[in-house]
Structure 1
Amino acid sequence: MEHSRHAGWLELFFDLVFVALAGQLAHSLHGDPGPADFAVFLALYLPPWWAWINLTVAANLFEDDTARRRLLMLTAMLSLAVMTVAVTEATGERSTAYALGYAGSRIVLLGLWWPSTTRPIHPGDALVPRWRPLVYCLVPAVGWAASVLVPAPWRFVIWGVLLAAEVGVLFVERSAGLPRRLHVGHLVERVGLFVIIVFGESVVGLIGSLDTEWTAAGGWVALVGFVMLAALWWSYFDFGSAAAETVLRAAAGDRAVPLARDVTAFLHFFVTAGVVAMAGGLATAVEEAGQGHGHLARGAVVALAGGLALYHTAHACIALRFGRRPLLVATWAVPGVGVPLLVIGVAGHLAPWQVVAVLTAEVVAHLLYARWVTTRRLRTRTA
C-alpha cells in the first residue's frame, strides 16, 4: 500500500521560481496581444513547464534528502530562474540565456536519474537502461546548448524538434527499469500547488491593476474577477483534483503511469496555460474599466475568454481520458467552451465589466452544476 507523502520544503522553495515565471508570462499578454503573442506565449511556456513536471516526477520517485539531491535541485532552480528572466525576450536578445537555462535543467535531470542505472528505483525493480537518461536528458541538453550557435529562426526550430523528441521517448515501448508506480497523492498535490501558483498570479494581477486604476469601475471588475477565480479554485480542488487522485489511485498495472503522464504532464499544461492567459486578460479588464473604456481590447478578451475556454477544454479531455462518458462530459464542457467563445464574438458590444460578469456567471454555474451532480450521486449511493 502506498505510504502518504507530501511536498517537501525543498520542492516548495523550488516552486518560487515559477511564481515569477507566471508573472512574466501573464505580463506578456497584458494589453492587446495579437495571434503572434499568443503563439509565442504557448511556445515559451512549454519548456519551463516540461522541466518542472520532469523534475517533479524525479522528486516523486527518488525520495532521498541527501546534500547531493538538494544541490541538484537548487541548480535546477537557478537554471529555471535564468529562463524566467529571459522568457519575455526569448525570441530576441535573451534567447541564448533561455536555451542555456533549459540545457542546465536537463543536466540536473540527468544527475537525478543516473543513480537508477546502478540501483533499482524500488526494491525488486530492474535497473533503468543507461541509454534512457542519456537520450532523454543529455542529448537534449547538448542540443539546446549548441542551438545558441545557430541563428534565428532555425534556433527555434531546433528547440521544437528537441522537445518533440523528448516527448517521443516517453511513448517508446517500455523498457525494464522504468517506473510502474508513482506516489499518486504526492503527484496530485504537486500539480495542485502549481495550479495555485497560476491562480495566485491572477489575484496579484487584479490587485496590481486596481492599485494602478483606483476607481469604483475598476474595483467592481476586480471584485467580479475575484469571484470568478474563487469559483474556479473551488471547482478545481473539490472536483477536478479530487477526481484525479481517485482515478489514478484506482488505476492498476501498466495503465497507471501512462494515465498519470497524460493527465499531469500533457493536459495540465493547457489547464495552467489557460489560467495564466486569464491573468493577463483580467488585469487589462480592471485597468480599462478604471479608465472608462467602452469595451475591452480584443486581445484582452481573447486572453481572458480564450483562456477560460482552453481551461474547460483541457478538463474535458482529462475527463474523457479518465473514461467518463462523452455525453456527460458534454453537458458541462459545451457551455464551458461555448460561452467564452460567444463572448469573444460579441465583445465589441460589451463593456469590460460585462465581459468579466458573463464569464464569471458561467464559472459559478459550472461550480453549482458540479456540486449538484456530486450531491445527487451521494444520495443515490446511500438510498
Structure 2
Amino acid sequence: MSAQPVRQPHADRHAGWLELFFDLVFVAFAAQLSHSLHGDPGPRDFAVFLALYFPPWWMWINLTVSANLFEDDSPRRRLLMLSAMFCLAAMAAAVPEADGDAGRAAVYALGYAGTRLVLLGLWWPATRLPAALRVPRWRPLSYCLVSALLWAASAAVPLPWRYAVWAVLLTAEMVLLLTARGHGITGRLHTGHLVERVGLFVIIVLGESVIALVTSTDHAWTAQAGAVATLGFVLLAALWWSYFDFGSTSAELMLGSAEGSRAYLLARDVSGFLHFFVTAAVISMAAGLATAVEEAGHAHLPRGAVWALAGGLALYHLAHACIAVRFGRPLRAVAVWAVPGIAVPLLVVLGAGTLAPWLVVLLLAAEAVGHLLYARTLARRRSR
C-alpha cells in the first residue's frame, strides 16, 4: 500500500503503537549517553556526548516527520520502522568508547547508514503522488541514498578522520533540509501530532533522569543520598510541570495557528533543531543527578558533575528562550525569566568547589520551582 498524504491539520491524530514501540530504543540511547557523563566529565566528554547524540536525534526527528506526513500502517512500513529501530539499537550499543574504538565507531556508522536507507524507503512513495504533493526524486536520492552510501563508506575511514567525515555528512544533510521551503507535501504537517511526539521524547529523557535517581541509590543507601534524590525529583517534577503546562501548550498553539510553509519552518526550527538542546540538557542533568546522589556524603561535587547538572539546566532554559523568540515573543518579555534561569545555574557552577551536593541540587530545584510559579502567575494574569 502506498503512503497517503496526511489529513487536514484539524483532524484528531495521536501517536500510534508502532511509534511508541519505536521510541523504546531511545530509552537505551538516553541511558548510554547519560552514563558517558557520569562522575567528573571534562570538556572532551561533553563534546563526544553531543557528537554521538545528534545523529540518532536527527534520525528520530526525520522518521517522526515521515510518520507525520504519511498515514500508512502497512506491513511494509512496519518492517521499515522496525529495521530502523534495530539499526538505532546497534548504534546505542556502540556508544560506549565509540570515540576511540574503531570497531564500535564502524558499527555506529553502519547503523546510521541503515537508518538512511529506511528513510529512503519511507519517502520514495511520495515521489509518485499527484503533482501538487509530489517530492522530486533527487531529494530522497541525495538526502537518503547518497548519505547512506557515504556513511557506510566512512566505516573504512581511519580514526580520527572518520569523525570529520561524519560532521561533513551531517552538515550536508542539514543544508539539504534548509533548502526545502515547505512547499507541497512538506507544508502539510499535522502540528498537533508533531508536538505530541516531541513531548513524548521529552518524557523519555525525563524518565531516564528518574531512573538515574533510583539506581544511584544502590551505591549510596544513606539519609544524605535520600535527601539529594528527593530534591532531584522535585527538580524534575518542576521541569515536567512547566514544560507540559506551558512549553508544549504554547508550541501547539503557535504551530497550529501557522499556515503553509511557515508552519513547516517553525516546526523544523523548534522541533528539529532547538529541541535537540532541550533533550540533551535533560540527559546531561540525569548524569549530574546520579553523581550527586552517589557523592551525597562528600564535601562537594566534582566540577564536571556540577557542569552536567547546573550547566544542563542553564542550557535547558537557554533553548526554551530561543524557542520563545522563534515563536515571536518579545525579547524583553523572554529575558525576564530566561536571564535568571540561565544565571542561577551558572552561579552554582562558580561555587562548585564549595557547595555540598545537597545544596547544589537544592538551589537548582528552587530555581526550577520558582520558574514554574512565575509561569503560573503570569498565566493567571493573562487569563484575567
By the TM > 0.5 criterion, same fold? yes
Matches of 1:176 and 1:253 in 2, distance apart? 8
Superposed, 1:165-244 pairs within 5 Å as: 165-172=172-179, 174=181, 177-244=184-251
Does the Cα contact within 8 Å between 1:110 and 1:134 map onto a contact in 2?
yes
Matches of 2:279 and 2:241 in 1, distance apart? 15
2:3 alignment counterpart: none
Q: Specify whether residues 281 and 173 from structure 1 end up closer, same or farther in structure 2 by C-alpha distance, changes over 3 A only.
A: closer
Once the two structures are TM-superposed, the CA of residue 173 in structure 1 deviates from its matched residue by: 5.2
Matches of 2:256 and 2:100 in 1, distance apart? 44
1:287 alignment counterpart: 294
Q: 2:53 aligns with which of 45, 56, 74?
A: 45
2:65 alignment counterpart: 57
Q: 2:354 aligns with which of 333, 349, 359?
A: 349
Q: Specify whether residues 340 and 306 from structure 1 end up closer, same or farther in structure 2 by C-alpha distance, changes over 3 A only.
A: same
Matches of 1:362 and 1:176 in 2, distance apart? 42
Q: Specify whether residues 369 and 178 from structure 1 end up closer, same or farther in structure 2 by C-alpha distance, changes over 3 A only.
A: same
TM-score (normalizing by structure 1): 0.96
Once the two structures are TM-superposed, the CA of residue 189 in structure 1 deviates from its matched residue by: 0.5
Q: 2:304 aligns with which of 294, 299, 303?
A: 299
1:339 alignment counterpart: 344
Does the Cα contact within 8 Å between 1:128 and 1:176 map onto a contact in 2?
no
1:100 alignment counterpart: 110
1:361 alignment counterpart: 366
Deviation per residue, 1:78-101 (Å, 9 max, x gap): 000000000122212200000000
Does the Cα contact within 8 Å between 1:117 and 1:130 map onto a contact in 2?
yes
Deviation per residue, 1:276-302 (Å, 9 max, x gap): 00000000000000xx21000000000
Matches of 1:328 and 1:347 in 2, distance apart? 30
Superposed, 1:251-290 pairs within 5 Å as: 251-289=258-296
Structure 2 residue matching 1:149: 3-state secondary structure: coil
Matches of 2:183 and 2:372 in 1, distance apart? 43
Matches of 2:332 and 2:183 in 1, distance apart? 39
**1:16 pairs with 2:21:** no
Matches of 1:175 and 1:74 in 2, distance apart? 28
1:145 alignment counterpart: 152
Matches of 1:54 and 1:40 in 2, distance apart? 22
**1:115 pairs with 2:125:** yes
Identity across matched positions, percent: 69
Does the Cα contact within 8 Å between 2:181 and 2:265 map onto a contact in 1?
no
Once the two structures are TM-superposed, the CA of residue 175 in structure 1 deviates from its matched residue by: 8.0
Structure 1 residue matching 2:328: 3-state secondary structure: coil
Matches of 1:23 and 1:207 in 2, distance apart? 13
Structure 1 residue matching 2:218: 3-state secondary structure: helix
Once the two structures are TM-superposed, the CA of residue 178 in structure 1 deviates from its matched residue by: 4.1
Moved runs in structure 1, 4+ residues, more than 2 A? 173-178
Does the Cα contact within 8 Å between 2:183 and 2:260 map onto a contact in 1?
no
2:331 alignment counterpart: 326
Does the Cα contact within 8 Å between 1:69 and 1:112 map onto a contact in 2?
yes
Once the two structures are TM-superposed, the CA of residue 174 in structure 1 deviates from its matched residue by: 3.6
Q: Specify whether residues 175 and 189 from structure 1 end up closer, same or farther in structure 2 by C-alpha distance, changes over 3 A only.
A: closer
Does the Cα contact within 8 Å between 2:303 and 2:352 map onto a contact in 1?
yes
* RMSD after superposition: 1.0
2:5 alignment counterpart: none
Matches of 1:141 and 1:338 in 2, distance apart? 42
Matches of 1:160 and 1:185 in 2, distance apart? 32
Once the two structures are TM-superposed, the CA of residue 231 in structure 1 deviates from its matched residue by: 0.3
Matches of 1:202 and 1:307 in 2, distance apart? 12
TM-score (normalizing by structure 2): 0.96
**Across the two proteins, how many residue pairs are aligned to each other?**
374
Matches of 2:322 and 2:128 in 1, distance apart? 38
Matches of 1:287 and 1:91 in 2, distance apart? 26
Does the Cα contact within 8 Å between 1:285 and 1:300 map onto a contact in 2?
yes
Q: 2:77 aligns with which of 69, 72, 94?
A: 69
Amino acid at match of 2:149: V
Which consecutive residues of structure 2, in runs of 5 or more, have no partner in the other structure?
Answer: 1-7
Structure 1 residue matching 2:95: 3-state secondary structure: helix
1:158 alignment counterpart: 165
Q: Specify whether residues 62 and 183 from structure 1 end up closer, same or farther in structure 2 by C-alpha distance, changes over 3 A only.
A: same
Q: 2:34 aligns with which of 23, 26, 29?
A: 26
